[in-house]
Protein backbone atom coordinates (compact mmCIF):
# COMPACT_ATOMS: atom_id res chain seq x y z
CA UNK A 1 0.00 0.00 0.00
CA UNK A 2 1.03 3.63 -0.39
CA UNK A 3 2.80 5.04 2.68
CA UNK A 4 0.59 7.36 4.71
CA UNK A 5 1.76 10.71 6.06
CA UNK A 6 0.69 12.71 9.12
CA UNK A 7 1.45 16.35 8.27
CA UNK A 8 -1.39 17.52 10.51
CA UNK A 9 -0.09 15.68 13.57
CA UNK A 10 3.39 16.99 12.89
CA UNK A 11 2.18 20.59 12.57
CA UNK A 12 -0.40 20.56 15.40
CA UNK A 13 0.54 17.91 17.98
CA UNK A 14 -1.49 19.86 20.56
CA UNK A 15 -4.71 19.02 18.67
CA UNK A 16 -4.43 15.24 18.45
CA UNK A 17 -3.33 12.16 20.36
CA UNK A 18 -1.70 8.97 19.05
CA UNK A 19 -4.37 6.27 19.02
CA UNK A 20 -4.88 2.82 17.50
CA UNK A 21 -8.27 1.49 16.41
CA UNK A 22 -9.74 -1.50 18.20
CA UNK A 23 -8.99 -4.80 16.51
CA UNK A 24 -12.30 -6.06 15.05
CA UNK A 25 -12.87 -9.77 15.68
CA UNK A 26 -13.96 -10.77 12.18
CA UNK A 27 -13.87 -7.90 9.65
CA UNK A 28 -15.44 -8.32 6.25
CA UNK A 29 -15.77 -5.84 3.39
CA UNK A 30 -19.42 -5.14 2.56
CA UNK A 31 -18.66 -2.56 -0.13
CA UNK A 32 -15.42 -1.30 -1.63
CA UNK A 33 -15.48 1.87 -3.71
CA UNK A 34 -13.28 0.63 -6.54
CA UNK A 35 -13.34 3.83 -8.65
CA UNK A 36 -12.31 5.89 -5.63
CA UNK A 37 -9.59 3.38 -4.74
CA UNK A 38 -8.19 3.81 -8.26
CA UNK A 39 -8.23 7.62 -7.86
CA UNK A 40 -6.25 7.20 -4.66
CA UNK A 41 -3.66 5.02 -6.39
CA UNK A 42 -4.50 1.97 -4.27
CA UNK A 43 -4.03 -1.51 -5.71
CA UNK A 44 -7.35 -3.37 -5.51
CA UNK A 45 -5.77 -6.79 -5.14
CA UNK A 46 -3.63 -5.70 -2.21
CA UNK A 47 -6.50 -3.70 -0.75
CA UNK A 48 -8.61 -6.86 -0.55
CA UNK A 49 -5.74 -8.85 0.95
CA UNK A 50 -4.21 -8.95 4.44
CA UNK A 51 -2.25 -5.71 3.97
CA UNK A 52 -5.36 -3.90 2.78
CA UNK A 53 -7.47 -5.31 5.60
CA UNK A 54 -4.93 -3.99 8.11
CA UNK A 55 -5.26 -0.53 6.56
CA UNK A 56 -9.07 -0.62 6.37
CA UNK A 57 -9.37 -1.68 10.02
CA UNK A 58 -6.77 0.76 11.36
CA UNK A 59 -4.19 -1.84 12.35
CA UNK A 60 -1.26 0.28 11.20
CA UNK A 61 1.26 2.49 12.94
CA UNK A 62 1.01 6.25 13.34
CA UNK A 63 -2.76 6.70 13.58
CA UNK A 64 -4.22 9.54 15.65
CA UNK A 65 -7.48 10.81 17.11
CA UNK A 66 -8.15 14.48 16.46
CA UNK A 67 -9.33 16.98 19.06
CA UNK A 68 -11.92 19.61 18.29
CA UNK A 69 -14.62 21.59 20.05
CA UNK A 70 -17.80 23.16 18.72
CA UNK A 71 -21.24 24.59 19.11
CA UNK A 72 -23.86 21.84 19.15
CA UNK A 73 -27.41 23.09 18.59
CA UNK A 74 -26.15 26.56 19.48
CA UNK A 75 -24.42 25.62 22.75
CA UNK A 76 -20.65 25.61 23.13
CA UNK A 77 -19.05 22.26 23.94
CA UNK A 78 -15.36 22.67 24.79
CA UNK A 79 -14.30 19.09 24.07
CA UNK A 80 -15.63 16.89 21.30
CA UNK A 81 -13.09 15.22 19.02
CA UNK A 82 -12.82 11.84 17.35
CA UNK A 83 -14.76 9.91 19.95
CA UNK A 84 -15.15 6.83 17.77
CA UNK A 85 -12.74 7.52 14.94
CA UNK A 86 -9.06 7.65 14.05
CA UNK A 87 -7.20 9.45 11.30
CA UNK A 88 -5.30 6.72 9.49
CA UNK A 89 -3.15 9.28 7.70
CA UNK A 90 -2.84 11.27 4.51
CA UNK A 91 -1.90 10.36 0.99
CA UNK A 92 -1.49 12.20 -2.29
CA UNK A 93 -3.87 10.80 -4.90
CA UNK A 94 -3.26 10.30 -8.61
CA UNK A 95 -4.26 13.89 -9.39
CA UNK A 96 -1.83 15.31 -6.83
CA UNK A 97 -4.47 16.13 -4.22
CA UNK A 98 -3.68 15.46 -0.56
CA UNK A 99 -6.52 13.62 1.21
CA UNK A 100 -7.23 12.07 4.59
CA UNK A 101 -8.11 8.44 5.22
CA UNK A 102 -10.29 8.31 8.32
CA UNK A 103 -11.84 5.37 10.13
CA UNK A 104 -15.22 5.74 11.81
CA UNK A 105 -16.64 3.24 14.31
CA UNK A 106 -13.20 2.13 15.47
CA UNK A 107 -13.79 2.11 19.24
CA UNK A 108 -13.38 4.45 22.17
CA UNK A 109 -10.76 7.19 22.22
CA UNK A 110 -9.92 9.78 24.91
CA UNK A 111 -12.65 11.94 23.35
CA UNK A 112 -15.38 9.29 23.50
CA UNK A 113 -17.16 10.63 26.61
CA UNK A 114 -19.89 8.09 27.48
CA UNK A 115 -20.02 6.39 24.07
CA UNK A 116 -18.72 2.94 23.20
CA UNK A 117 -16.94 4.19 20.09
CA UNK A 118 -18.73 1.73 17.84
CA UNK A 119 -20.90 2.28 14.79
CA UNK A 120 -23.80 0.22 13.42
CA UNK A 121 -23.89 -0.97 9.82
CA UNK A 122 -26.94 1.02 8.69
CA UNK A 123 -25.63 4.52 9.41
CA UNK A 124 -22.23 3.71 7.88
CA UNK A 125 -23.88 2.54 4.67
CA UNK A 126 -26.12 5.63 4.75
CA UNK A 127 -23.04 7.85 4.82
CA UNK A 128 -21.61 5.95 1.85
CA UNK A 129 -24.81 6.38 -0.17
CA UNK A 130 -25.16 10.08 0.61
CA UNK A 131 -21.53 10.79 -0.21
CA UNK A 132 -21.64 8.97 -3.55
CA UNK A 133 -24.83 10.74 -4.58
CA UNK A 134 -23.51 14.19 -3.70
CA UNK A 135 -20.25 13.47 -5.49
CA UNK A 136 -22.10 12.30 -8.59
CA UNK A 137 -24.12 15.53 -8.68
CA UNK A 138 -20.99 17.67 -8.39
CA UNK A 139 -21.36 18.71 -4.74
CA UNK A 140 -18.09 18.90 -2.74
CA UNK A 141 -18.24 16.04 -0.27
CA UNK A 142 -16.39 13.46 1.74
CA UNK A 143 -16.74 9.94 0.34
CA UNK A 144 -16.55 6.38 1.58
CA UNK A 145 -13.69 4.19 0.40
CA UNK A 146 -15.19 1.14 2.09
CA UNK A 147 -17.76 -0.12 4.57
CA UNK A 148 -16.92 -3.19 6.61
CA UNK A 149 -18.69 -5.28 9.20
CA UNK A 150 -16.59 -5.98 12.29
CA UNK A 151 -18.01 -9.37 13.23
CA UNK A 152 -19.44 -8.12 16.51
CA UNK A 153 -22.86 -7.13 17.78
CA UNK A 154 -23.00 -3.73 19.43
CA UNK A 155 -25.38 -1.92 21.74
CA UNK A 156 -28.41 -0.71 19.77
CA UNK A 157 -28.87 2.96 18.93
CA UNK A 158 -32.62 2.32 18.72
CA UNK A 159 -34.67 -0.38 20.39
CA UNK A 160 -33.17 -3.25 22.40
CA UNK A 161 -31.80 -5.67 19.79
CA UNK A 162 -28.00 -5.59 19.31
CA UNK A 163 -26.89 -4.36 15.90
CA UNK A 164 -24.11 -5.47 13.55
CA UNK A 165 -20.99 -3.39 14.14
CA UNK A 166 -19.37 -1.65 11.20
CA UNK A 167 -16.51 0.55 10.07
CA UNK A 168 -16.60 3.38 7.55
CA UNK A 169 -13.34 4.25 5.80
CA UNK A 170 -13.82 7.88 4.82
CA UNK A 171 -11.86 9.96 2.33
CA UNK A 172 -11.85 13.72 2.83
CA UNK A 173 -9.87 16.72 1.67
CA UNK A 174 -9.20 16.91 5.40
CA UNK A 175 -11.05 16.60 8.70
CA UNK A 176 -10.27 20.18 9.75
CA UNK A 177 -13.43 21.84 10.99
CA UNK A 178 -14.63 25.14 12.40
CA UNK A 179 -14.59 23.23 15.67
CA UNK A 180 -10.88 22.51 15.21
CA UNK A 181 -10.13 26.24 15.20
CA UNK A 182 -12.45 26.72 18.17
CA UNK A 183 -10.51 24.09 20.14
CA UNK A 184 -7.22 25.80 19.32
CA UNK A 185 -8.55 29.22 20.32
CA UNK A 186 -10.34 28.09 23.48
CA UNK A 187 -7.65 25.78 24.86
CA UNK A 188 -4.31 26.82 23.39
CA UNK A 189 -4.39 30.48 22.41
CA UNK A 190 -3.06 32.57 19.52
CA UNK A 191 0.22 30.73 18.90
CA UNK A 192 -1.41 27.37 18.21
CA UNK A 193 -4.35 29.03 16.45
CA UNK A 194 -1.91 30.86 14.20
CA UNK A 195 -0.10 27.63 13.30
CA UNK A 196 -3.44 25.98 12.57
CA UNK A 197 -4.44 28.87 10.30
CA UNK A 198 -1.17 28.53 8.40
CA UNK A 199 -1.71 24.77 8.04
CA UNK A 200 -5.26 25.18 6.74
CA UNK A 201 -4.19 27.85 4.25
CA UNK A 202 -1.36 25.69 2.93
CA UNK A 203 -3.58 22.65 2.59
CA UNK A 204 -6.86 24.10 1.32
CA UNK A 205 -6.73 27.78 0.43
CA UNK A 206 -3.18 28.63 -0.69
CA UNK A 207 -4.22 31.97 -2.22
CA UNK A 208 -5.66 33.19 1.11
CA UNK A 209 -3.76 36.02 2.79
CA UNK A 210 -3.65 35.34 6.52
CA UNK A 211 -6.59 34.66 8.85
CA UNK A 212 -8.89 37.21 7.18
CA UNK A 213 -8.16 35.66 3.81
CA UNK A 214 -8.91 32.24 5.25
CA UNK A 215 -12.20 33.48 6.67
CA UNK A 216 -13.13 34.85 3.25
CA UNK A 217 -12.16 31.62 1.47
CA UNK A 218 -14.12 29.40 3.85
CA UNK A 219 -17.10 31.78 3.71
CA UNK A 220 -17.16 31.59 -0.09
CA UNK A 221 -16.78 27.82 -0.11
CA UNK A 222 -19.62 27.34 2.36
CA UNK A 223 -21.90 29.70 0.41
CA UNK A 224 -21.37 27.55 -2.70
CA UNK A 225 -21.86 24.29 -0.78
CA UNK A 226 -25.10 25.24 0.97
CA UNK A 227 -26.58 26.68 -2.24
CA UNK A 228 -26.06 23.29 -3.89
CA UNK A 229 -27.60 21.49 -0.92
CA UNK A 230 -30.68 23.68 -1.12
CA UNK A 231 -31.17 23.12 -4.83
CA UNK A 232 -31.00 19.35 -4.40
CA UNK A 233 -33.41 19.41 -1.45
CA UNK A 234 -30.73 18.10 0.90
CA UNK A 235 -31.17 18.49 4.66
CA UNK A 236 -27.91 17.89 6.54
CA UNK A 237 -29.66 17.60 9.88
CA UNK A 238 -26.79 18.43 12.25
CA UNK A 239 -25.05 21.62 11.13
CA UNK A 240 -23.04 22.01 14.32
CA UNK A 241 -19.75 23.90 13.98
CA UNK A 242 -17.83 20.64 14.35
CA UNK A 243 -19.62 19.45 11.19
CA UNK A 244 -18.49 22.39 9.03
CA UNK A 245 -15.32 21.46 7.16
CA UNK A 246 -12.82 24.22 6.37
CA UNK A 247 -12.19 22.62 2.98
CA UNK A 248 -15.75 23.40 1.86
CA UNK A 249 -16.76 19.73 1.64
CA UNK A 250 -19.88 18.34 3.26
CA UNK A 251 -19.02 16.02 6.14
CA UNK A 252 -20.67 13.76 8.74
CA UNK A 253 -23.88 12.48 7.17
CA UNK A 254 -25.80 11.16 10.15
CA UNK A 255 -29.49 12.16 10.38
CA UNK A 256 -29.56 13.70 6.91
CA UNK A 257 -32.25 13.28 4.27
CA UNK A 258 -33.67 14.65 1.04
CA UNK A 259 -36.99 16.39 0.54
CA UNK A 260 -39.84 14.47 -0.99
CA UNK A 261 -42.58 17.13 -0.87
CA UNK A 262 -40.98 20.57 -0.91
CA UNK A 263 -41.24 22.01 2.63
CA UNK A 264 -39.19 24.93 3.85
CA UNK A 265 -39.28 23.78 7.47
CA UNK A 266 -38.72 20.08 6.79
CA UNK A 267 -36.82 18.31 9.59
CA UNK A 268 -35.82 14.64 9.41
CA UNK A 269 -33.47 14.40 12.39
CA UNK A 270 -34.77 12.72 15.53
CA UNK A 271 -32.59 14.97 17.69
CA UNK A 272 -33.53 18.32 16.10
CA UNK A 273 -36.64 18.83 18.19
CA UNK A 274 -36.68 22.62 17.76
CA UNK A 275 -36.18 22.58 14.00
CA UNK A 276 -32.94 24.55 14.26
CA UNK A 277 -31.47 22.73 11.26
CA UNK A 278 -34.59 22.60 9.09
CA UNK A 279 -34.12 22.68 5.32
CA UNK A 280 -34.89 26.39 4.93
CA UNK A 281 -32.72 27.40 7.89
CA UNK A 282 -29.49 26.02 6.43
CA UNK A 283 -28.12 29.21 4.81
CA UNK A 284 -28.67 31.19 8.02
CA UNK A 285 -27.09 28.47 10.12
CA UNK A 286 -24.07 28.39 7.81
CA UNK A 287 -23.56 32.10 8.42
CA UNK A 288 -24.04 31.60 12.17
CA UNK A 289 -21.33 28.92 12.13
CA UNK A 290 -19.03 31.16 10.11
CA UNK A 291 -19.54 33.87 12.71
CA UNK A 292 -18.32 31.47 15.40
CA UNK A 293 -15.33 30.69 13.17
CA UNK A 294 -14.62 34.41 12.90
CA UNK A 295 -14.81 34.79 16.69
CA UNK A 296 -12.18 32.09 17.14
CA UNK A 297 -9.94 33.88 14.64
CA UNK A 298 -10.19 37.36 16.19
CA UNK A 299 -7.02 37.14 18.34
CA UNK A 300 -4.94 36.23 15.27
CA UNK A 301 -6.63 38.76 12.97
CA UNK A 302 -5.51 41.69 15.13
CA UNK A 303 -4.24 41.05 18.64
CA UNK A 304 -3.49 44.73 19.24
CA UNK A 305 -6.85 46.18 18.23
CA UNK A 306 -9.79 43.84 18.99
CA UNK A 307 -12.37 46.24 17.56
CA UNK A 308 -10.50 46.40 14.27
CA UNK A 309 -10.48 42.60 14.20
CA UNK A 310 -14.26 42.53 14.76
CA UNK A 311 -14.89 45.14 12.07
CA UNK A 312 -12.66 43.39 9.54
CA UNK A 313 -14.21 39.98 10.20
CA UNK A 314 -17.73 41.42 10.00
CA UNK A 315 -16.96 42.91 6.61
CA UNK A 316 -15.86 39.49 5.36
CA UNK A 317 -18.97 37.78 6.76
CA UNK A 318 -21.18 40.32 5.01
CA UNK A 319 -20.00 38.69 1.79
CA UNK A 320 -21.75 35.42 2.60
CA UNK A 321 -25.24 36.45 1.51
CA UNK A 322 -24.28 37.85 -1.91
CA UNK A 323 -22.04 34.83 -2.54
CA UNK A 324 -24.85 32.46 -1.56
CA UNK A 325 -27.44 34.26 -3.70
CA UNK A 326 -25.12 34.29 -6.70
CA UNK A 327 -24.50 30.54 -6.34
CA UNK A 328 -28.21 29.90 -5.86
CA UNK A 329 -29.09 31.90 -8.96
CA UNK A 330 -26.54 30.04 -11.09
CA UNK A 331 -27.87 26.73 -9.86
CA UNK A 332 -31.50 27.70 -10.41
CA UNK A 333 -30.76 28.86 -13.93
CA UNK A 334 -29.15 25.50 -14.67
CA UNK A 335 -31.99 23.46 -13.15
CA UNK A 336 -34.73 25.52 -14.82
CA UNK A 337 -32.99 25.93 -18.17
CA UNK A 338 -33.32 29.70 -18.17
CA UNK A 339 -31.24 32.80 -18.71
CA UNK A 340 -31.75 36.19 -17.11
CA UNK A 341 -30.51 38.56 -14.47
CA UNK A 342 -29.78 37.24 -11.01
CA UNK A 343 -32.74 38.95 -9.35
CA UNK A 344 -35.11 37.75 -12.05
CA UNK A 345 -33.93 34.13 -11.78
CA UNK A 346 -34.07 34.20 -7.98
CA UNK A 347 -37.61 35.61 -8.00
CA UNK A 348 -38.70 32.91 -10.45
CA UNK A 349 -37.21 30.24 -8.22
CA UNK A 350 -38.57 31.58 -4.94
CA UNK A 351 -42.09 31.90 -6.35
CA UNK A 352 -41.81 28.34 -7.65
CA UNK A 353 -40.85 26.96 -4.25
CA UNK A 354 -43.75 28.77 -2.57
CA UNK A 355 -46.10 27.27 -5.15
CA UNK A 356 -44.62 23.79 -4.74
CA UNK A 357 -45.00 23.92 -0.98
CA UNK A 358 -48.57 25.21 -1.17
CA UNK A 359 -49.56 22.27 -3.38
CA UNK A 360 -47.30 19.60 -1.81
CA UNK A 361 -45.27 18.98 -4.96
CA UNK A 362 -42.31 16.62 -4.92
CA UNK A 363 -39.03 18.57 -5.08
CA UNK A 364 -36.98 16.17 -7.22
CA UNK A 365 -39.96 15.04 -9.29
CA UNK A 366 -40.85 18.59 -10.32
CA UNK A 367 -37.48 19.39 -11.84
CA UNK A 368 -37.39 16.08 -13.71
CA UNK A 369 -40.92 16.67 -15.01
CA UNK A 370 -40.10 20.23 -16.04
CA UNK A 371 -37.25 18.96 -18.19
CA UNK A 372 -39.61 16.41 -19.78
CA UNK A 373 -42.52 18.82 -20.25
CA UNK A 374 -44.94 17.23 -17.78
CA UNK A 375 -44.69 19.43 -14.71
CA UNK A 376 -48.26 20.79 -14.81
CA UNK A 377 -49.70 17.38 -13.96
CA UNK A 378 -48.03 17.55 -10.54
CA UNK A 379 -50.27 20.44 -9.41
CA UNK A 380 -53.77 19.75 -8.09
CA UNK A 381 -54.71 23.33 -9.02
CA UNK A 382 -52.85 24.01 -12.29
CA UNK A 383 -53.78 27.69 -12.72
CA UNK A 384 -51.07 29.15 -10.43
CA UNK A 385 -48.53 26.92 -12.11
CA UNK A 386 -49.60 28.08 -15.56
CA UNK A 387 -48.99 31.68 -14.52
CA UNK A 388 -45.54 30.73 -13.27
CA UNK A 389 -44.86 28.68 -16.41
CA UNK A 390 -45.52 31.74 -18.58
CA UNK A 391 -42.80 33.60 -16.71
CA UNK A 392 -40.54 30.57 -17.06
CA UNK A 393 -41.14 30.43 -20.80
CA UNK A 394 -40.13 34.07 -21.16
CA UNK A 395 -36.72 33.22 -19.70
CA UNK A 396 -36.43 29.75 -21.18
CA UNK A 397 -33.28 29.00 -23.15
CA UNK A 398 -33.88 25.99 -25.45
CA UNK A 399 -30.14 25.43 -25.75
CA UNK A 400 -30.06 24.82 -21.99
CA UNK A 401 -32.53 21.93 -22.05
CA UNK A 402 -29.80 19.28 -22.23
CA UNK A 403 -27.74 20.80 -19.42
CA UNK A 404 -30.92 21.26 -17.36
CA UNK A 405 -31.66 17.55 -17.59
CA UNK A 406 -28.12 16.83 -16.40
CA UNK A 407 -28.64 19.22 -13.45
CA UNK A 408 -31.73 17.34 -12.23
CA UNK A 409 -31.12 13.84 -10.90
CA UNK A 410 -33.60 11.01 -11.27
CA UNK A 411 -32.22 8.77 -8.56
CA UNK A 412 -32.04 10.47 -5.16
CA UNK A 413 -31.55 8.77 -1.76
CA UNK A 414 -35.26 8.82 -0.96
CA UNK A 415 -36.05 8.35 2.70
CA UNK A 416 -38.28 5.26 2.63
CA UNK A 417 -36.43 3.42 -0.14
CA UNK A 418 -33.05 3.99 1.48
CA UNK A 419 -34.33 2.91 4.88
CA UNK A 420 -35.72 -0.27 3.35
CA UNK A 421 -32.35 -1.04 1.77
CA UNK A 422 -30.49 -0.34 5.00
CA UNK A 423 -32.83 -2.58 6.97
CA UNK A 424 -32.13 -5.41 4.54
CA UNK A 425 -28.39 -4.93 5.05
CA UNK A 426 -28.96 -4.97 8.81
CA UNK A 427 -30.60 -8.38 8.39
CA UNK A 428 -27.73 -9.71 6.30
CA UNK A 429 -28.75 -8.87 2.72
CA UNK A 430 -26.56 -6.06 1.30
CA UNK A 431 -28.01 -6.44 -2.20
CA UNK A 432 -30.59 -3.61 -2.05
CA UNK A 433 -28.13 -1.06 -0.70
CA UNK A 434 -25.53 -2.07 -3.29
CA UNK A 435 -28.19 -1.44 -5.94
CA UNK A 436 -28.83 1.93 -4.33
CA UNK A 437 -25.14 2.78 -4.48
CA UNK A 438 -25.06 1.87 -8.15
CA UNK A 439 -28.11 4.04 -8.88
CA UNK A 440 -26.98 7.18 -7.08
CA UNK A 441 -23.46 6.95 -8.50
CA UNK A 442 -24.93 7.71 -11.94
CA UNK A 443 -28.16 9.51 -10.99
CA UNK A 444 -29.23 11.35 -14.14
CA UNK A 445 -30.16 8.67 -16.70
CA UNK A 446 -32.89 6.05 -16.30
CA UNK A 447 -31.63 2.47 -16.26
CA UNK A 448 -33.43 -0.88 -16.37
CA UNK A 449 -34.31 -2.42 -13.05
CA UNK A 450 -34.22 0.81 -11.06
CA UNK A 451 -37.75 2.13 -11.55
CA UNK A 452 -38.54 1.49 -7.87
CA UNK A 453 -35.98 4.16 -6.94
CA UNK A 454 -37.35 6.92 -9.17
CA UNK A 455 -39.97 8.46 -6.91
CA UNK A 456 -41.15 8.89 -3.33
CA UNK A 457 -43.04 6.34 -1.29
CA UNK A 458 -45.68 6.87 1.36
CA UNK A 459 -44.30 8.18 4.64
CA UNK A 460 -41.15 9.87 3.34
CA UNK A 461 -42.19 13.31 4.55
CA UNK A 462 -42.76 12.08 8.11
CA UNK A 463 -39.57 10.06 8.18
CA UNK A 464 -37.01 10.43 11.00
CA UNK A 465 -33.34 9.56 10.75
CA UNK A 466 -30.99 8.83 13.62
CA UNK A 467 -27.35 9.83 13.92
CA UNK A 468 -26.11 6.35 14.82
CA UNK A 469 -23.78 7.61 17.55
467 — pLDDT class (breaks 50, 70, 90): low
In a domain, 235, yes or no: yes
Instruction: Give the H or E element holding residue 370.
Output: helix 363-372
Tell me the mean pLDDT in the region 193-198: 98
Section 164-184 average pLDDT: 98
Cβ atoms of 238 and 271 within 8 Å: the answer is: yes
Q: What mean pLDDT is predicted for residues 365-380?
A: 93
Residue 30 CA to its chain's centroid (Å): 22
Classify residue 333: in a domain, yes or no.
no
pLDDT at 463 over 50: yes
Q: What is the spatial distance between Cα 352 and Cα 355, in angstroms, rounded to a whole number? A: 5
User: At a CB cut-off of 8 Å and minimum separation 6, what does 351 contact?
Assistant: 388, 391
| pLDDT for 270 beyond 90 | no
Q: List phi, psi (to 5°) of 246.
A: -70, -20
Whether the per-residue pLDDT at 405 is higher than 80: the answer is no
Q: What is the pLDDT of residues 336-349, one digit of tens each?
A: 999 999 999 999 99
Position 226 pLDDT exceeds 60: yes
Query: What pLDDT does residue 401 have?
Result: 73
Structural domain contains residue 99: no
pLDDT of res. 111: 94
pLDDT for residue 465: 72
Residue 25 forms part of a structural domain: no
Q: Is residue 93 within 8 Å of residue 39, measured between CB atoms?
A: yes
Q: How many domains does the chain have?
A: 1
| 468 pLDDT more than 60 | no
Residue 469 is predicted with a pLDDT of: 43
Average pLDDT across the chain, whole number: 95
Using CB atoms within 10 Å of the CB of residue 266, give its burial: 0 to 12 exposed, 13 to 18 middle, 19+ buried: buried
Query: pLDDT value at position 327?
Result: 98
pLDDT, tens digit (0-9, with 9 covering 90-100), for 409-441: 999 999 999 999 999 999 999 999 999 999 999
Q: Does residue 284 lie in a domain region?
A: yes
- pLDDT given for residue 458 in this prediction: 82
Confidence of residue 460 (pLDDT cuts 50, 70, 90): low
CA 148 to CA 165: how far, in whole Å?
A: 9
Tell me if 407 is assigned to some domain.
no
Residue 242 predicted with pLDDT over 80: yes
Across the range 396-407, mean pLDDT stands at 83
> Residue 156's pLDDT is what?
80
Q: Tell me what the mean pLDDT of segment 60-71 comes to.
A: 98
358 domain residue, yes or no? no
In a domain, 164, yes or no: no
Top pLDDT among 115 and 218 is at 218
In the chain, pLDDT over 70 holds for what percent of residues? 98
For range 393-416, the mean pLDDT = 89
Active site residues: 242
Domain that holds residue 260: 181-325
pLDDT average, residue stretch 100-104: 98
| Long-range interactions of 434-439: CB distance < 8 A, separation 24+ | 434/31, 436/129, 437/31, 437/128, 437/129, 437/132, 439/411
Amino acid sequence: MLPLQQTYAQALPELCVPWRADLPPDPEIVWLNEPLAAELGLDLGRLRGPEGMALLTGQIDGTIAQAYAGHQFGSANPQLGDGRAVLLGELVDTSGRRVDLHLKGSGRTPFARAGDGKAPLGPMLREAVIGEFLHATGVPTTRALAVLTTGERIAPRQGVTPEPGALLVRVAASHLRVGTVQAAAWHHGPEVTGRLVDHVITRHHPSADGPLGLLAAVTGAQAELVAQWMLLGFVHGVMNTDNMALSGEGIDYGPCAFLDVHRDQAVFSSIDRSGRYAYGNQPGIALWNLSRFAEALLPVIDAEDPQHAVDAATEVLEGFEPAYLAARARGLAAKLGVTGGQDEVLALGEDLFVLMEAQSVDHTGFFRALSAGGAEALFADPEPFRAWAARHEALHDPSADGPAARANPLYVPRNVQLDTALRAAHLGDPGPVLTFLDAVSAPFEARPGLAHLEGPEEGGDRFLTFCGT
